[in-house]
A and B are shown apart, each in its own frame.
Chain A
Protein backbone atom coordinates (compact mmCIF):
# COMPACT_ATOMS: atom_id res chain seq x y z
CA UNK A 1 0.00 0.00 0.00
CA UNK A 2 2.98 2.31 0.41
CA UNK A 3 3.57 2.72 -3.33
CA UNK A 4 -0.07 3.41 -4.16
CA UNK A 5 -0.20 7.09 -3.01
CA UNK A 6 2.86 7.84 -5.13
CA UNK A 7 1.23 6.16 -8.13
CA UNK A 8 -1.90 8.24 -7.49
CA UNK A 9 0.07 11.48 -7.50
CA UNK A 10 1.96 10.42 -10.64
CA UNK A 11 -1.28 9.49 -12.40
CA UNK A 12 -2.90 12.79 -11.38
CA UNK A 13 0.07 14.80 -12.71
CA UNK A 14 0.06 12.76 -15.92
CA UNK A 15 -3.67 13.34 -16.51
CA UNK A 16 -3.32 17.10 -15.99
CA UNK A 17 -0.18 17.20 -18.18
CA UNK A 18 -1.86 15.34 -21.06
CA UNK A 19 -4.96 17.55 -20.71
CA UNK A 20 -2.72 20.63 -20.88
CA UNK A 21 -1.01 19.25 -23.98
CA UNK A 22 -4.45 18.61 -25.53
CA UNK A 23 -5.32 22.27 -25.03
CA UNK A 24 -1.90 23.64 -26.01
CA UNK A 25 -1.15 21.54 -29.11
CA UNK A 26 -0.99 23.68 -32.26
CA UNK A 27 -2.43 21.05 -34.56
CA UNK A 28 -5.99 19.69 -34.36
CA UNK A 29 -4.87 16.12 -35.07
CA UNK A 30 -2.24 16.24 -32.31
CA UNK A 31 -4.77 17.55 -29.84
CA UNK A 32 -7.23 14.76 -30.74
CA UNK A 33 -4.51 12.15 -30.17
CA UNK A 34 -3.80 13.82 -26.82
CA UNK A 35 -7.48 13.55 -25.98
CA UNK A 36 -7.55 9.80 -26.71
CA UNK A 37 -4.56 9.25 -24.40
CA UNK A 38 -6.25 11.46 -21.82
CA UNK A 39 -9.43 9.34 -21.97
CA UNK A 40 -7.45 6.15 -21.32
CA UNK A 41 -5.55 7.72 -18.39
CA UNK A 42 -8.79 9.04 -16.95
CA UNK A 43 -10.17 5.49 -17.03
CA UNK A 44 -7.35 4.53 -14.63
CA UNK A 45 -8.32 7.39 -12.30
CA UNK A 46 -11.88 6.02 -12.31
CA UNK A 47 -10.59 2.60 -11.32
CA UNK A 48 -8.78 4.23 -8.38
CA UNK A 49 -12.13 5.80 -7.37
CA UNK A 50 -13.62 2.28 -7.22
CA UNK A 51 -15.62 2.97 -10.38
CA UNK A 52 -14.57 0.30 -12.93
CA UNK A 53 -17.93 0.64 -14.72
CA UNK A 54 -17.26 4.32 -15.42
CA UNK A 55 -13.65 3.46 -16.31
CA UNK A 56 -14.89 1.06 -19.01
CA UNK A 57 -17.32 3.69 -20.33
CA UNK A 58 -14.69 6.43 -20.31
CA UNK A 59 -12.12 4.25 -22.10
CA UNK A 60 -14.64 3.15 -24.75
CA UNK A 61 -16.39 6.47 -25.32
CA UNK A 62 -14.10 9.22 -24.00
CA UNK A 63 -10.99 7.67 -25.49
CA UNK A 64 -12.13 5.53 -28.39
CA UNK A 65 -15.34 6.63 -30.05
CA UNK A 66 -14.90 10.38 -29.43
CA UNK A 67 -11.39 10.09 -30.89
CA UNK A 68 -12.73 8.47 -34.07
CA UNK A 69 -15.47 11.12 -34.24
CA UNK A 70 -13.00 14.02 -34.01
CA UNK A 71 -10.36 12.49 -36.33
CA UNK A 72 -13.08 11.82 -38.93
CA UNK A 73 -14.42 15.35 -38.51
CA UNK A 74 -10.91 16.82 -38.93
CA UNK A 75 -10.33 14.80 -42.12
CA UNK A 76 -13.68 15.85 -43.55
CA UNK A 77 -12.94 19.52 -42.75
CA UNK A 78 -9.57 19.19 -44.52
CA UNK A 79 -11.32 17.70 -47.55
CA UNK A 80 -13.69 20.70 -47.62
CA UNK A 81 -10.66 23.06 -47.58
CA UNK A 82 -12.60 25.19 -45.12
CA UNK A 83 -9.51 26.80 -43.65
CA UNK A 84 -10.91 30.05 -42.29
CA UNK A 85 -11.48 29.61 -38.61
CA UNK A 86 -11.52 33.14 -37.18
CA UNK A 87 -8.64 34.89 -35.46
CA UNK A 88 -7.28 33.90 -32.07
CA UNK A 89 -8.46 36.25 -29.32
CA UNK A 90 -6.22 39.15 -28.29
CA UNK A 91 -3.71 38.78 -25.46
CA UNK A 92 -5.93 40.80 -23.11
CA UNK A 93 -8.82 38.38 -23.65
CA UNK A 94 -6.50 35.40 -23.13
CA UNK A 95 -5.24 36.79 -19.82
CA UNK A 96 -8.82 37.46 -18.69
CA UNK A 97 -9.83 33.92 -19.76
CA UNK A 98 -6.86 32.50 -17.85
CA UNK A 99 -7.83 34.45 -14.72
CA UNK A 100 -11.45 33.36 -15.01
CA UNK A 101 -10.46 29.70 -15.51
CA UNK A 102 -8.09 29.80 -12.55
CA UNK A 103 -10.84 31.35 -10.42
CA UNK A 104 -13.37 28.67 -11.41
CA UNK A 105 -10.86 25.85 -10.89
CA UNK A 106 -9.83 27.32 -7.52
CA UNK A 107 -13.44 27.63 -6.36
CA UNK A 108 -14.16 24.05 -7.43
CA UNK A 109 -11.04 22.80 -5.65
CA UNK A 110 -12.18 24.62 -2.51
CA UNK A 111 -15.60 22.98 -2.75
CA UNK A 112 -14.03 19.54 -3.24
CA UNK A 113 -11.80 20.05 -0.22
CA UNK A 114 -14.71 21.13 1.98
CA UNK A 115 -17.32 18.49 1.08
CA UNK A 116 -19.47 17.59 4.11
CA UNK A 117 -18.58 14.67 6.36
CA UNK A 118 -20.33 12.27 6.71
CA UNK A 119 -21.14 12.41 3.03
CA UNK A 120 -24.79 12.02 1.99
CA UNK A 121 -25.41 8.69 0.27
CA UNK A 122 -28.11 6.89 -1.68
CA UNK A 123 -26.19 3.60 -1.45
CA UNK A 124 -28.77 1.94 0.85
CA UNK A 125 -31.54 2.58 -1.71
CA UNK A 126 -29.32 1.24 -4.48
CA UNK A 127 -28.55 -1.83 -2.38
CA UNK A 128 -32.28 -2.36 -1.92
CA UNK A 129 -32.81 -2.12 -5.68
CA UNK A 130 -29.96 -4.56 -6.36
CA UNK A 131 -31.25 -7.10 -3.85
CA UNK A 132 -34.86 -6.33 -4.83
CA UNK A 133 -37.36 -9.19 -5.10
CA UNK A 134 -36.32 -11.47 -7.94
CA UNK A 135 -33.73 -9.07 -9.31
CA UNK A 136 -30.67 -10.54 -7.63
CA UNK A 137 -28.26 -8.29 -9.49
CA UNK A 138 -24.71 -8.41 -8.19
CA UNK A 139 -23.76 -5.13 -9.86
CA UNK A 140 -25.48 -2.26 -8.01
CA UNK A 141 -24.85 0.15 -10.88
CA UNK A 142 -26.81 -2.02 -13.30
CA UNK A 143 -29.55 -2.18 -10.67
CA UNK A 144 -29.60 1.63 -10.41
CA UNK A 145 -29.60 2.07 -14.20
CA UNK A 146 -32.37 -0.43 -14.94
CA UNK A 147 -34.46 -0.39 -11.81
CA UNK A 148 -33.88 2.48 -9.36
CA UNK A 149 -33.46 5.17 -12.02
CA UNK A 150 -35.02 3.30 -14.95
CA UNK A 151 -36.69 6.40 -16.35
CA UNK A 152 -33.32 8.22 -16.73
CA UNK A 153 -31.81 5.32 -18.59
CA UNK A 154 -34.75 5.05 -20.97
CA UNK A 155 -34.62 8.80 -21.69
CA UNK A 156 -30.88 8.53 -22.28
CA UNK A 157 -31.51 5.94 -25.01
CA UNK A 158 -34.13 8.28 -26.50
CA UNK A 159 -31.50 11.05 -26.49
CA UNK A 160 -29.23 8.74 -28.51
CA UNK A 161 -31.99 8.18 -31.08
CA UNK A 162 -32.77 11.93 -31.18
CA UNK A 163 -29.08 12.78 -31.67
CA UNK A 164 -28.89 10.39 -34.63
CA UNK A 165 -32.05 11.97 -36.05
CA UNK A 166 -30.58 15.45 -35.52
CA UNK A 167 -27.35 14.48 -37.29
CA UNK A 168 -29.24 12.97 -40.23
CA UNK A 169 -31.33 16.15 -40.46
CA UNK A 170 -28.20 18.24 -40.97
CA UNK A 171 -27.60 16.56 -44.35
CA UNK A 172 -28.80 18.03 -47.61
CA UNK A 173 -32.48 17.44 -48.51
CA UNK A 174 -31.59 15.59 -51.72
CA UNK A 175 -29.44 13.10 -49.81
CA UNK A 176 -32.20 11.97 -47.41
CA UNK A 177 -32.43 8.19 -47.24
CA UNK A 178 -28.95 7.70 -48.67
CA UNK A 179 -25.84 6.36 -46.97
CA UNK A 180 -23.36 8.47 -44.96
CA UNK A 181 -19.92 9.07 -46.41
CA UNK A 182 -17.45 6.23 -45.67
CA UNK A 183 -15.27 6.79 -42.61
CA UNK A 184 -12.25 6.59 -44.91
CA UNK A 185 -12.23 7.64 -48.54
CA UNK A 186 -8.97 5.96 -49.50
CA UNK A 187 -8.58 2.26 -50.18
CA UNK A 188 -7.40 0.76 -46.85
CA UNK A 189 -4.03 -0.95 -46.78
CA UNK A 190 -3.51 -4.65 -46.04
CA UNK A 191 -2.56 -4.14 -42.40
CA UNK A 192 -5.83 -2.33 -41.64
CA UNK A 193 -7.89 -5.05 -43.36
CA UNK A 194 -6.03 -7.81 -41.50
CA UNK A 195 -6.45 -5.97 -38.19
CA UNK A 196 -10.18 -5.58 -38.77
CA UNK A 197 -10.56 -9.23 -39.78
CA UNK A 198 -8.81 -10.45 -36.64
CA UNK A 199 -9.88 -7.81 -34.12
CA UNK A 200 -13.56 -7.39 -34.99
CA UNK A 201 -14.73 -10.96 -34.17
CA UNK A 202 -12.74 -11.05 -30.90
CA UNK A 203 -13.88 -7.55 -29.95
CA UNK A 204 -17.50 -8.41 -30.68
CA UNK A 205 -17.21 -11.50 -28.45
CA UNK A 206 -15.72 -9.41 -25.62
CA UNK A 207 -18.49 -6.82 -26.11
CA UNK A 208 -21.20 -9.45 -25.67
CA UNK A 209 -19.32 -10.83 -22.65
CA UNK A 210 -19.10 -7.40 -20.99
CA UNK A 211 -22.83 -6.93 -21.48
CA UNK A 212 -23.61 -10.41 -20.11
CA UNK A 213 -21.43 -10.20 -16.97
CA UNK A 214 -22.70 -6.64 -16.37
CA UNK A 215 -25.56 -8.04 -14.29
CA UNK A 216 -23.13 -9.18 -11.60
CA UNK A 217 -19.73 -7.63 -12.32
CA UNK A 218 -18.39 -4.37 -13.79
CA UNK A 219 -19.75 -3.98 -17.30
CA UNK A 220 -23.23 -3.63 -18.69
CA UNK A 221 -25.39 -2.79 -21.66
CA UNK A 222 -23.76 0.50 -22.54
CA UNK A 223 -20.15 -0.63 -22.22
CA UNK A 224 -20.81 -3.82 -24.20
CA UNK A 225 -22.77 -1.91 -26.85
CA UNK A 226 -19.99 0.67 -27.17
CA UNK A 227 -17.45 -2.10 -27.79
CA UNK A 228 -19.67 -3.68 -30.46
CA UNK A 229 -20.06 -0.21 -32.00
CA UNK A 230 -16.28 0.22 -32.04
CA UNK A 231 -15.84 -3.13 -33.80
CA UNK A 232 -18.41 -2.15 -36.43
CA UNK A 233 -16.48 1.09 -36.98
CA UNK A 234 -13.18 -0.82 -37.34
CA UNK A 235 -14.84 -2.97 -40.01
CA UNK A 236 -16.17 0.19 -41.73
CA UNK A 237 -12.73 1.83 -41.67
CA UNK A 238 -11.22 -1.24 -43.33
CA UNK A 239 -14.06 -1.01 -45.88
CA UNK A 240 -15.06 -4.59 -45.08
CA UNK A 241 -18.60 -3.26 -44.67
CA UNK A 242 -20.12 0.03 -45.78
CA UNK A 243 -22.32 2.34 -43.72
CA UNK A 244 -25.98 1.42 -44.25
CA UNK A 245 -28.46 3.71 -45.99
CA UNK A 246 -30.31 5.79 -43.40
CA UNK A 247 -33.60 4.87 -45.08
CA UNK A 248 -33.06 1.20 -44.19
CA UNK A 249 -35.93 -0.18 -42.14
CA UNK A 250 -33.71 -2.65 -40.26
CA UNK A 251 -31.38 0.17 -39.19
CA UNK A 252 -34.23 2.33 -37.94
CA UNK A 253 -35.84 -0.56 -36.04
CA UNK A 254 -32.51 -1.40 -34.39
CA UNK A 255 -32.06 2.26 -33.39
CA UNK A 256 -35.38 2.56 -31.59
CA UNK A 257 -35.63 -1.03 -30.33
CA UNK A 258 -33.80 -0.24 -27.04
CA UNK A 259 -36.01 2.60 -25.79
CA UNK A 260 -39.14 1.01 -27.34
CA UNK A 261 -38.71 -2.32 -25.54
CA UNK A 262 -37.77 -0.51 -22.31
CA UNK A 263 -40.90 1.65 -22.52
CA UNK A 264 -43.13 -1.31 -23.39
CA UNK A 265 -41.86 -3.34 -20.42
CA UNK A 266 -42.20 -0.25 -18.22
CA UNK A 267 -45.82 0.18 -19.25
CA UNK A 268 -46.49 -3.54 -18.79
CA UNK A 269 -45.20 -3.02 -15.23
CA UNK A 270 -48.35 -1.02 -14.48
CA UNK A 271 -50.49 -4.06 -15.21
CA UNK A 272 -48.15 -6.75 -13.87
CA UNK A 273 -46.49 -5.18 -10.83
CA UNK A 274 -48.61 -2.17 -9.97
CA UNK A 275 -46.46 0.75 -11.12
CA UNK A 276 -44.62 2.24 -14.07
CA UNK A 277 -41.20 0.55 -14.49
CA UNK A 278 -41.88 -1.96 -11.72
CA UNK A 279 -40.77 -5.50 -12.56
CA UNK A 280 -42.76 -8.51 -11.35
CA UNK A 281 -40.56 -10.23 -8.73
CA UNK A 282 -40.88 -13.69 -10.27
CA UNK A 283 -38.92 -12.89 -13.43
CA UNK A 284 -37.35 -9.48 -12.80
CA UNK A 285 -33.85 -10.56 -13.77
CA UNK A 286 -34.99 -12.18 -17.01
CA UNK A 287 -36.92 -9.01 -17.91
CA UNK A 288 -33.92 -6.81 -17.09
CA UNK A 289 -31.64 -8.87 -19.34
CA UNK A 290 -34.31 -8.81 -22.08
CA UNK A 291 -34.42 -4.98 -21.95
CA UNK A 292 -30.63 -4.75 -21.86
CA UNK A 293 -30.25 -6.96 -24.94
CA UNK A 294 -32.18 -4.44 -27.03
CA UNK A 295 -30.31 -1.55 -25.41
CA UNK A 296 -27.02 -3.14 -26.51
CA UNK A 297 -28.40 -3.35 -30.06
CA UNK A 298 -29.49 0.32 -30.04
CA UNK A 299 -26.15 1.55 -28.64
CA UNK A 300 -24.15 -0.60 -31.07
CA UNK A 301 -26.07 0.94 -33.98
CA UNK A 302 -26.44 4.53 -32.70
CA UNK A 303 -22.76 5.28 -31.96
CA UNK A 304 -21.39 4.34 -35.42
CA UNK A 305 -24.23 6.20 -37.14
CA UNK A 306 -23.38 9.32 -35.11
CA UNK A 307 -19.72 9.05 -36.13
CA UNK A 308 -20.62 8.34 -39.77
CA UNK A 309 -22.60 11.58 -39.93
CA UNK A 310 -25.40 12.77 -42.20
CA UNK A 311 -26.16 11.10 -45.55
CA UNK A 312 -23.79 12.13 -48.30
CA UNK A 313 -24.42 13.88 -51.60
CA UNK A 314 -26.94 16.33 -52.99
CA UNK A 315 -25.10 19.40 -51.63
CA UNK A 316 -27.16 22.48 -52.34
CA UNK A 317 -25.25 25.68 -53.18
Chain B
Protein backbone atom coordinates (compact mmCIF):
# COMPACT_ATOMS: atom_id res chain seq x y z
CA UNK B 1 0.00 0.00 0.00
CA UNK B 2 1.56 3.31 -0.98
CA UNK B 3 1.36 6.64 0.83
CA UNK B 4 -1.23 8.22 -1.44
CA UNK B 5 -3.68 5.29 -1.28
CA UNK B 6 -3.31 5.30 2.51
CA UNK B 7 -4.03 9.05 2.63
CA UNK B 8 -7.07 8.49 0.41
CA UNK B 9 -8.42 5.85 2.79
CA UNK B 10 -7.82 8.22 5.73
CA UNK B 11 -9.79 10.87 3.80
CA UNK B 12 -12.67 8.42 3.30
CA UNK B 13 -12.66 7.54 7.02
CA UNK B 14 -12.67 11.25 7.96
CA UNK B 15 -15.69 11.90 5.74
CA UNK B 16 -17.54 9.01 7.43
CA UNK B 17 -16.61 10.18 10.95
CA UNK B 18 -17.61 13.76 10.21
CA UNK B 19 -20.92 12.73 8.64
CA UNK B 20 -21.78 10.70 11.73
CA UNK B 21 -20.88 13.60 14.05
CA UNK B 22 -22.90 16.01 11.92
CA UNK B 23 -26.04 13.91 12.40
CA UNK B 24 -25.50 12.62 15.95
CA UNK B 25 -24.39 15.77 17.81
CA UNK B 26 -27.23 18.09 18.83
CA UNK B 27 -24.95 21.08 19.60
CA UNK B 28 -24.46 23.31 16.50
CA UNK B 29 -20.79 24.06 17.31
CA UNK B 30 -20.11 20.31 17.41
CA UNK B 31 -21.96 19.96 14.10
CA UNK B 32 -19.75 22.71 12.66
CA UNK B 33 -16.63 20.87 13.82
CA UNK B 34 -17.95 17.65 12.29
CA UNK B 35 -18.63 19.44 9.03
CA UNK B 36 -15.06 20.71 8.98
CA UNK B 37 -13.93 17.10 9.41
CA UNK B 38 -15.96 16.11 6.32
CA UNK B 39 -14.37 19.02 4.47
CA UNK B 40 -10.80 18.07 5.34
CA UNK B 41 -11.52 14.48 4.32
CA UNK B 42 -12.70 15.66 0.91
CA UNK B 43 -9.59 17.86 0.58
CA UNK B 44 -7.42 14.87 1.41
CA UNK B 45 -9.05 12.75 -1.31
CA UNK B 46 -8.50 15.63 -3.74
CA UNK B 47 -4.89 15.80 -2.53
CA UNK B 48 -4.50 12.15 -3.53
CA UNK B 49 -5.78 13.07 -6.99
CA UNK B 50 -3.11 15.80 -7.08
CA UNK B 51 -0.38 13.37 -6.00
CA UNK B 52 -1.41 10.83 -8.65
CA UNK B 53 -1.41 13.50 -11.34
CA UNK B 54 2.36 13.95 -11.08
CA UNK B 55 3.65 15.07 -14.47
CA UNK B 56 5.80 17.65 -16.22
CA UNK B 57 8.64 17.19 -13.76
CA UNK B 58 6.54 17.84 -10.65
CA UNK B 59 5.86 15.25 -7.97
CA UNK B 60 2.22 16.46 -7.90
CA UNK B 61 -0.38 18.21 -10.03
CA UNK B 62 -0.28 21.88 -8.87
CA UNK B 63 -3.83 22.70 -10.05
CA UNK B 64 -5.78 20.54 -7.55
CA UNK B 65 -3.33 21.58 -4.81
CA UNK B 66 -4.01 25.26 -5.48
CA UNK B 67 -7.75 24.52 -5.44
CA UNK B 68 -7.44 22.79 -2.04
CA UNK B 69 -5.70 25.90 -0.63
CA UNK B 70 -8.55 28.05 -1.96
CA UNK B 71 -11.00 25.51 -0.49
CA UNK B 72 -9.45 25.64 2.99
CA UNK B 73 -9.73 29.44 2.99
CA UNK B 74 -13.36 29.44 1.86
CA UNK B 75 -14.23 26.68 4.37
CA UNK B 76 -12.80 28.83 7.16
CA UNK B 77 -14.81 31.87 6.01
CA UNK B 78 -18.01 29.78 5.99
CA UNK B 79 -17.21 28.39 9.46
CA UNK B 80 -16.67 31.88 10.85
CA UNK B 81 -20.01 33.01 9.42
CA UNK B 82 -21.68 29.93 10.93
CA UNK B 83 -20.18 30.73 14.35
CA UNK B 84 -21.55 34.29 14.13
CA UNK B 85 -25.03 32.93 13.27
CA UNK B 86 -24.91 30.38 16.13
CA UNK B 87 -23.96 33.09 18.65
CA UNK B 88 -26.75 35.31 17.30
CA UNK B 89 -29.19 32.42 17.67
CA UNK B 90 -28.09 32.02 21.29
CA UNK B 91 -28.61 35.74 21.97
CA UNK B 92 -31.97 35.84 20.20
CA UNK B 93 -33.53 32.65 21.57
CA UNK B 94 -31.62 31.95 24.79
CA UNK B 95 -30.49 28.57 23.49
CA UNK B 96 -28.68 26.92 20.62
CA UNK B 97 -31.23 24.21 19.85
CA UNK B 98 -31.74 23.53 16.15
CA UNK B 99 -34.83 21.47 16.97
CA UNK B 100 -37.97 23.39 15.89
CA UNK B 101 -39.94 21.56 18.63
CA UNK B 102 -37.21 22.11 21.22
CA UNK B 103 -37.29 24.32 24.32
CA UNK B 104 -36.47 27.47 22.38
CA UNK B 105 -38.76 26.28 19.58
CA UNK B 106 -40.13 29.17 17.59
CA UNK B 107 -37.02 31.36 17.35
CA UNK B 108 -34.76 28.41 16.57
CA UNK B 109 -37.08 27.31 13.79
CA UNK B 110 -37.01 30.73 12.19
CA UNK B 111 -33.26 31.14 12.30
CA UNK B 112 -32.51 27.69 10.96
Give chain A's interface residues, CB within 8 Å of chain B.
4-5, 8-9, 12, 15-16, 19-20, 22-23, 28, 31-32, 35, 38-39, 42, 45-46, 48-51, 53-54, 57-58, 61-62, 65-66, 69-70, 73-74, 76-77, 80, 82-89, 93-94, 97-98, 100-102, 104-106, 108-109, 111-113, 115, 117, 119-127, 130, 140-141, 143-145, 148-149, 152-153, 156, 159-160, 162-163, 166-167, 170, 220, 222, 302-303, 306-307, 309-310, 315
Contact = CB atoms under 8 A, between A and B. Distances in A.
Contacts, number: 300
B29 A51 contact: no
Interface string B28-52: 1110111011001101110111111
> Which DSSP category, helix, strand, loop or mixed, fits chain B's interface?
helix
Nearest to A4: B3
A225 to B, nearest CB: 10
Contact of B104 (A22, A58, A84): A84
Closest 3 CB pairs of A and B: A105-B16, A84-B95, A112-B8
A63 to B, nearest CB: 11
A88 B104 CA distance: 15
B6 A84 contact: no
A120 B61 CA distance: 9
A89 B65 contact: no
Contact of B52 (A115, A145, A220): A115
A109 to B, nearest CB: 4
A67 B4 CA distance: 27
A164 to B, nearest CB: 8
A89 B21 CA distance: 11
A309 B83 contact: yes
Contact of A105 (B12, B33, B85): B12
B77 A82 contact: no
A306 B77 contact: yes
A88 B90 CA distance: 18
Given A45-B44, A85-B95, A112-B12, A123 B73 contact: no
Contacts of A141: 62, 65-66, 69
Contact of B61 (A94, A126, A170, A303): A126
Interface in B43-81: 43-45, 47-70, 72-74, 76-81
Contact of A89 (B24, B27, B41, B48): B24
Contact of A49 (B37, B48, B102): B48
A69 B29 contact: no
A268 to B, nearest CB: 23
8 contacts: A19-B14, A46-B47, A84-B95, A84-B104, A101-B23, A112-B8, A123-B60, A302-B77
Given A8-B6, A9-B6, A84-B96, A16 B13 contact: yes
Contact of B80 (A69, A100, A117, A149): A69
Nearest to A83: B95
A38 B38 CA distance: 13
Contacts of A104: 15-16, 19
A123 B78 contact: no
B53 A123 contact: yes
B7 A101 contact: no
B69 A22 contact: no
A53 B11 CA distance: 18
Given A54-B47, A65-B76, A126-B56, A28 B90 contact: no
